[in-house]
Amino acid sequence: MKKWFDNIGPGPLVAAAFIGPGTVTLCSIAGLDYGFSLLWALVLSVFATIVLQEMSARLGIISKKGLSEVIRNEIHNPVLKKVIITLILSAIVIGNAAYEAGNISGGVLGLEAVFGENIINLYDLNIKPYSILLGAIAFALLYVGNYKIIERSLIFLVIIMSVSFIATAIITRPDLMDLLHGLLIPKFPKGSILIVIGLIGTTVVPYNLFLHASLVKEKWHNESDLKFARNDTVIAIALGGIVSMCIVISAASLQIESINNAADLAKGIEPLFGASSKYILAIGLFSAGITSAITAPLAASYVAAGCLGWSISLKSKKFRFVWMLILLAGVISSSLGIKSIEIIKFAQITNGILLPIIAGFLIWIVNKESVLGKYINSKWQNVTGLAILLITLFLGLKSLLKVFEIL
């Protein structure tokens, strides 16, 4: 049992990264508006994520390089290299800075559901001290610069989050036949297409592909460790998918008209299932926020270091500078209630363009014997990967159309 636990590592960090406050809100809306009928979209997204993240993990272990490092080394056309690296830095570093406020604010919603709202007025500024508290926790874990401590802390938080959301779903006592129909039979209820695309898009996340390749080489160093990495990936991402499904199931039981944020789920569930259900859910919201608030700056630092050729060490000054900058931007925006709409739009545009490009590049690179030797993709992996690439193209196009208000 101890050996099994010792070989669980980067996977839960990837799951922690995609189950953030945005995922909680979107899954809540899906459950409230469409019941169990969109659960199949989460099954599809979990499968797609496992396939792409396995490729990313394999690349990290065999090449002993992060994805951004491989991109810098394998693209030889100088103009194309500059364009791709600029796009990656824009999407991941600036994007994660824009989203960080939402991650921290999501964790704050969990605390406020239990302890109530807390605002301090200072020089005519309304400051949320809970945002500063969450920022301090994230800062402390990242500044230690010890991968094992970060890993164990996030695994602990992911377990708490998982237990919380799964317990909430069980409390609602869902109808098992309706649940199975939702999981196994694809349906597109009227007006649901954007929610379906959103459920897939919130799970298949570009920065996780970079994060995973970088983290596995911190954890494992030999080709024989591939089996541990695969098990870790499948178990953790499947668990993450189950957590997302449990949020949908919980929201489906609510008798409220709309959900605007993750806290509405906690407020709506209390009258139906008692005060304890609200507190259980609030713990999950806090864990979802704090885990994403840690993984987003960490991923941005790995990406920046790989793209710019810096030392990829958790304790290097440049590495720390990137995550500190992103964390600080998130804390300031969250504590003051600033909404950087234009920056978030920019991040959505660049991530929409980046997702199919990175998925395509990943599939190309894991077919190169010069990089992976005998560990290149099998025919089955390529067929599956290309099908997922088409999905990412669709998602990327959708996100661009949405930002420009065409769709």
Domain extent listing, the chain: 7-403
What's the rounded Cα separation, in Å, for the pair 23 and 19?
6
What's the rounded Cα separation, in Å, for the pair 144 and 397?
40
Structure tokens given for 156? 């602990």
Helix (H, G, I), strand (E, B) or coil at 53: helix
Whole-prediction pTM value? 0.87
What's the rounded Cα separation, in Å, for the pair 263 and 31?
15
Q: Which of 203, 181, 188, 211 is nearest to 306 (CA)?
A: 211
Q: Is residue 76 within 8 Å of residue 270, measured between CB atoms?
A: no
Element (H, E) at 121: strand 120-122
Q: Kindly report the CA angle at 289 between 287 and 290, in degrees rounded to 5?
A: 65
Helices (H), 64-94: 67-74, 78-88
Strands 120-122 and 125-127: antiparallel
Beta carbons within 8 Å of 402's beta carbon, 6+ residues apart: 194, 348
What's the rounded Cα separation, in Å, for the pair 54 and 323?
25
Q: Which of 332, 338, 303 is nearest to 318 (CA)?
A: 303
Helix (H, G, I), strand (E, B) or coil at 259: coil
For residue 57, the Cα-to-chain-centroid distance in whole angstroms is: 16
What's the rounded Cα separation, in Å, for the pair 144 and 130?
22
Q: Which residue has 């990837």 as its token pair?
A: 14
pLDDT given for residue 392 in this prediction: 79
Beta carbons within 8 Å of 203's beta carbon, 6+ residues apart: 18, 23, 42, 45, 46, 48, 49, 240, 241, 244
In this structure, what is the dihedral angle of CA atoms 94, 97, 98, 101, given to the nearest 10 degrees?
180
What's the rounded Cα separation, in Å, for the pair 97 and 295?
12
pLDDT averaged per 10 residues, the chain (length 407): 64 86 83 91 92 94 90 89 88 83 84 80 79 92 86 86 87 89 89 80 85 87 88 92 92 76 69 72 85 91 89 88 93 79 61 79 91 90 91 76 69
260: burial class by Cβ within 10 Å (0-12, 13-18, 19+)?
exposed
Question: What CATH class is the domain 7-403?
Answer: mainly alpha
CA distances from 101 to 107, 242, 243, 331 (A): 10, 26, 22, 6
What's the rounded Cα separation, in Å, for the pair 273 and 303?
44
Beta carbons within 8 Å of 268's beta carbon, 6+ residues apart: 251, 254, 255, 256, 259
